[in-house]
Structures are given as C-alpha cells and as structure tokens.
Amino acid sequence: MDRTFTSFSAFVLLGVVAADLRQALIFVVCLVVATAFHEFAHAFAADRLGDPTPGRDGRLTLNPLAHADPVGTIGLPLMAGLLHLPLFGWGRPVMTQPRFYTRGMSMRAGMALVSFAGPLANVLQATVTLLAIKLLLVAGVEHKGLFEVLVLFFTLNLTLAVFNLLPVHPLDGGKILAWALPARFSHIDDTLARYGWTILLALMLIPGLLQTLFTPVGIVRDWALRLVVG
C-alpha cells in the first residue's frame, strides 16, 4: 500500500502560546475537531473518486478518534501546554491509492482534488465558526470563554488551511502544485519533494519564520473578526 500523500497538518498558531494546561486542553479539543473534518474530507474525496482504501481503513467517518494521532494531536500539544511552548500538532494522515481513481481524470488531477479537499474543509469550518460568532452576538450572548474558544477554532482552521496549501511535499499543496505545473517544470516539483521535510523543519525550527510567513493570515483573521463584531 502506497501512501500517496501525507497531510502533515502541523502549525504554530498566530501568537497563541500555551499559558497553562487548560489552554492546551482547549487547543487539543479544537485540534481534534478541525483535524477530523480535514482528514474526513480527504477520505470522502478519495472514496468518491473510486478508492476503497479510506473506507476499508475506517477513515470514512467524522469520528474524531479515527483521525487523531496519539502523539501529534494529543501528546505534544499537552506537553507544550505544560512547558509553556508554542502550541502545534497534526492529525493522522489518510492513506489513498490513486490507481483506483476513476479514469475520468488524470492521476495527478485526482491526487490534487483529494489533497485540496482537506484545506477546503478547514475553510468551511472557519466560515461556519465566523457565522456562529455573528449569530451569538446578534442573540445578545455574552460569554467570554465561549467566544475565546470560537476565535481559537476560527484561527486554527485558517492556519491549518493555509499551512497545508504551502507548495511543499508532503503537504497538500505539494500535490496540488505537482498537478498545476506544466511537464517542463516537473524538476521544480522533484526538488520540492526531495527537500520537503527539510523545508518544513526549517519553517518549524527557525525562530519567527513561520510566524512571519503567516502574518497575512493574522491580518485576514483580524479583518474578518472586526467585520463580524461590527
């Protein structure tokens, strides 16, 4: 069985640092939910294209436990909370085999479609969360703790979507780029595939690099929240 893509789904939230275990627990709950929808979207897209692998592996479900990684989704975020480190994590990748995809499209196109489904699910979650915040405000609900959780979930989904769309393997964006690039530029995709993990580690380990990269996401987040709050 080949793992045709790995939705690593790692991220450092924009300015969100674990102050205590409570914050980490809230983050873990939000991460588990966001990851479940993200990975289910991958599984659903692959299944609709004719690949039985996600269903056989029990991934064609919204059950969060089916998509959570014991280390990346739970262990490391809790440890970060205890050590007052930046919060980060990832979900368990969905296995898929493009050879089963319908012949109505190229294999690369199918892989790109399956890959794009994950970030799209996060965008949809962010949109629904924003609407929920608006409805609560219109209803006159004033609960600081609830709004903090919703803003965290909104930020998490935006960050997860953008991070996974970075054009680097093994992220979703790597498969999308591989499909979008003309054949004469395939060497670019080969290079990004060869050094993908090195690039990701550099993003994660070089102080301030990832935060700087996600500055536009923070701007969009703040703009959207101001628009909703009015």
Give Dmax (Cα) for the chain.
57
Given a contact cutoff of 8 angstroms between Cβ atoms, the answer to whether 224 and 21 are in contact is no
Q: Count each helix (H run) and each strand (E run) in the chain, helices first.
A: 10, 0
Catalytic (active site) residue 39: yes
Beta-bridged to residue 68, according to DSSP, are 91
126 HSE (CA, 13 A, CB side): 23
* Residues 205, 164: Cα–Cα separation, whole Å: 17
CA gap 200, 164 in Å, rounded: 11
Q: Which residues of 23-49 are buried (b: 16+ CB within 10 A; e: fewer)?
A: bbebbbebbbbbbbbbbbbbbbbbbeb
Closest CA to 174 of 193, 195, 157: 193
CA 29 from chain center: how many Å? Answer: 14
> Which of the following is catalytic: 27, 33, 39, 167?
39
118: which residues sit within 8 A by CB, 6+ positions away?
Answer: 7, 9, 38, 39, 41, 42, 164, 172
The CA distance from 150 to 190, in Å, is: 39
Report, as residue numbers or ranges, the catalytic residues.
39
